[in-house]
Amino acid sequence: MCGSDTACACATTTPATEPATAPDDTRTVYQVAGMTCGGCAGRVSKQLTDVPGVRDVSVDVATGAVTVTSAAALDDDSVAAAVAAAGYQLVH
């Protein structure tokens, strides 16, 4: 979809906002390979949001960083599976 005229939003950025978090939330940053646009970020975010315990997902396409806020530490295999379901891969 990138490069088409159908609104991929590759050239646009939106400012990151700090999610409302509880004092006991866990925030983990993962590196994801292959994301190039807002559509990529949306797919990764959608899959990770469906992982039980995830409260918020923030994606920085420029760096490949994905910050996940959760109620407790997440199982890395669950995170990797969600990222793979979106069509991308965690960088270890």
**What is the pLDDT, as a whole number, of residue 20?**
56
Q: Residue 47 is encoded by which pair of tokens?
A: 């899959």
Q: How confident is the model over 8-67, as pLDDT tens digits?
A: 545 444 444 554 556 789 999 999 999 999 999 999 999 999 999 999 999 999 999 999
> Alpha-carbon distance 71 to 85, whole Å?
22
pLDDT of residue 24: 82
The pLDDT value recorded for residue 46 is: 98
Q: What is the CATH number of domain 26-91?
A: 3.30.70.100
Distance from C-alpha of 35 to C-alpha of 2, rounded to nearest angstrom? 11
Largest CA distance in the chain: 43
pTM above 0.85, yes or no: no
Other C-beta atoms lying within 10 Å of the C-beta of residue 25 = 14
Q: How far apart are CA 10 and CA 4, in angstroms?
A: 10
How many Å apart are CA 55 and CA 5, to the nearest integer?
A: 33
User: Could you tell me the residue ranges of all domains in the chain?
Assistant: 26-91
In order of 20, 31, 49, 75, the CA distances from 80 in angstroms are 25, 11, 13, 9
